[in-house]
Structure 1
């Protein structure tokens, strides 16, 4: 059975990580999720918790993981990264 991911949410998480994350060798990392892209920007990668998500052209994607609970933790982090942040004046 295919998992139907919300690629818009995944790309929003990618943008958040690229904006606010720490620079790594291949991209940027935030909250334990690393975001990177290939040289032309057509392929986007999100990695963390033993999970790798590759989003390609036309929002095609491939999600790989060894254990369901790892995918669940990864998805929870993605969700946290894409929730609207409440600006409380502390930054």
Structure 2
């Protein structure tokens, strides 16, 4: 996968969700995006609208989705959250 994500923006979105979100079973949700971290904090996950994005150590990432338009709308929402 080509490196198309700005990890700094993803981390800003994660922090905003954690600061302003509502608790869920796994993490926090804000504006339709759920933020989760694993027990040691090295991996974070953002998910919503049929898309799951995981960011790991050294800014490695994996994104899973079924349709490209879902991915695009998810990334737009994350970009708005990062501002």
Q: Residues 29-48 of structure 1 correspond to what in structure 2 (within 5 A)?
A: 29-48=29-48
What is the RMSD of the two structures over their aligned residues, measured on CA atoms? 1.0
Structure 1 unaligned regions, length at least 5: 84-91
The offset of 1:2, in angstroms, is: 2.1
Larger Rg: 1
**TM-score under structure 2 length normalisation:** 0.95
- Distance (Å, rounded) in 1 between the aligned partners of 2:10 and 2:53: 9
Runs of 4+ aligned structure 1 residues displaced above 6 Å come to none
The structure with higher relative contact order (CA 8 Å, sep 6+) is 2
- Distance (Å, rounded) in 2 between the aligned partners of 1:76 and 1:58: 23
The offset of 1:3, in angstroms, is: 4.5
Paired positions, count: 83
Structure 2 unaligned regions, length at least 5: none
